[in-house]
């Protein structure tokens, strides 16, 4: 959840780019209206309940998951996880084979303080009602030492779990063991670089595409057995604190969420879903949105970029003086 420069930059961009990002055709997204959800940091489309999205709060809110109806933005079920310790910094959620929900308690705001982090697994409830569900807890370490991370994805075919660490100058895709063990430590190993300050990621329903988002942009990858190939940029909407992404259940859309009270979830066409959004060979979005998500004209984007660059440079210089 550590983002001192991103918060200021996001606020500046929101002020400069006053024109809202366009909604995807036929779907304008929704607003999370539950006052308890103030730090939505993960998002996953339900496998069992059409139009329902699972989310959770950041940090140590408690062992809770919320089922939000995208038609109304209201919470229709609250799930309390049992059988686990107290969550420390929950940052991600993903649904794997067999309708199993995986929750990533993988954040480390101090960038490598915790010797281990955790993943929780539980079955997606068949009924949407407030209930307590027993979860399995897995201990996770990294082959090259502790680190901060906010992105966890489960491959929809194999069930293998992957984590992307969060580094301002780019991180790595880490691969877990073929099957997680609840009795031992699960070591995740780096297998590919990810050129982004990643805040969340999502697999397409067929497992062939991987979407990785950051605060101000995103990258589309092809995925093949742990090998990734960059295919272009994602049309990420401008959000004050964008920390979540998921594919729609049918794989045609990407939904992007943000932290904050009454936080918006915005919808964009997924890469390959339509000609207007397919990544072009040079790695840019064919829609012309680019890394800032298509908000505003080229002139406005240039002004925004200059403002943000100046702010970030000033903060870095201030930090050095300290």
Question: What's the pLDDT tens digit per position in 146-183?
Answer: 999 999 999 999 999 999 999 999 999 999 999 999 99
pLDDT at residue 204, rounded to an integer = 98
Residue 215 lies in a domain: yes
Residue 10 lies in a domain: no
Residue 283 lies in a domain: yes
298-321 vs 4-16: helix axis angle to the nearest 10? 150
Residue 131's pLDDT band (cuts 50, 70, 90)? very high
Name the least confident of 158-162, 238-242, 245-249.
238-242
Residue 155 lies in a domain: yes
pLDDT at residue 311, rounded to an integer = 42
Residue 166 lies in a domain: yes
Domain count, the chain: 1
pLDDT at residue 167, rounded to an integer = 94
Q: What is the pLDDT of residues 266-288, one digit of tens each?
A: 999 999 764 333 333 333 333 33
- Domain with 47 in it: 20-295
End-to-end CA distance of the chain: 22
Centroid of chain to Cα 98? 21
Residue 14 lies in a domain: no
- Computed over every residue of the chain, the mean pLDDT equals 82
Residue 6 lies in a domain: no
pLDDT at residue 43, rounded to an integer = 98
Tell me if 306 sits within 8 A of 298, measured CB to CB. no
pLDDT greater than 50 at residue 19: no
pLDDT at residue 28, rounded to an integer = 66
**Which residues does 281 contact at the CB level (< 8 Å), separation at least 6?**
none
pLDDT greater than 70 at residue 53: yes
Residue 312 lies in a domain: no
Higher pLDDT, 144 or 298: 144
Q: What is this structure's pTM?
A: 0.81
pLDDT at residue 240, rounded to an integer = 87
Q: What is the CATH number of the domain that holds 224?
A: 2.120.10.30
Name the least confident of 9-18, 43-52, 240-249.
9-18
pLDDT greater than 80 at residue 66: yes
pLDDT greater than 50 at residue 307: no
Instruction: Order the strands of the 117-123 sheet from edge to edge.
Output: 92-96, 100-105, 117-123, 136-142, 185-194, 171-175, 161-165, 149-154
């Amino acid at each position: 959840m550590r983002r001192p420069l991103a918060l200021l930059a996001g606020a500046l961009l929101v002020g400069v780019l006053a024109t809202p990002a366009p909604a995807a055709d036929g779907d304008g997204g929704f607003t999370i209206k539950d006052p308890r959800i103030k730090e939505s940091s993960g998002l996953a489309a339900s496998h069992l309940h059409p139009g329902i999205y699972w989310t959770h709060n950041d940090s140590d809110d408690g062992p809770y998951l919320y089922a939000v109806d995208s038609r109304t933005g209201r919470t229709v079920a609250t799930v309390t996880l049992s059988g686990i310790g107290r969550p420390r910094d929950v940052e991600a959620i993903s649904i794997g084979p067999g309708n199993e929900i995986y929750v990533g308690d993988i954040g480390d705001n101090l960038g490598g303080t915790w010797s281990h982090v955790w993943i929780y697994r539980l079955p997606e409830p068949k009924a949407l009602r407030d209930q307590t569900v027993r979860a399995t807890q897995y201990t996770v370490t990294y082959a090259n030492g502790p680190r901060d991370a906010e992105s966890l994805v489960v491959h929809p075919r194999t069930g293998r779990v992957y984590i992307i660490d969060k580094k301002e100058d780019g991180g790595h895709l880490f691969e877990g063991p073929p099957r997680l063990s609840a009795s031992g430590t699960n070591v995740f190993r780096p297998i590919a670089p990810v050129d982004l300050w990643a805040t969340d990621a999502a697999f397409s329903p067929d497992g062939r595409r991987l979407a990785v988002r950051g605060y101000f942009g995103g990258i589309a990858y092809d995925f093949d057995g742990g090998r990734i190939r960059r295919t272009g940029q994602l049309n990420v909407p401008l959000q004050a604190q964008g920390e979540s992404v998921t594919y729609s259940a049918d794989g045609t859309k990407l939904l992007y969420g943000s932290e904050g009270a009454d936080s918006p979830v915005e919808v964009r066409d997924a890469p390959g879903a339509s000609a207007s959004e397919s990544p072009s060979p040079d790695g840019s979005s064919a829609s012309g949105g680019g890394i800032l998500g298509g908000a505003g004209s080229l002139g406005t984007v240039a002004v925004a970029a200059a403002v943000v660059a100046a702010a970030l440079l000033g903060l870095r210089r201030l930090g050095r003086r300290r």
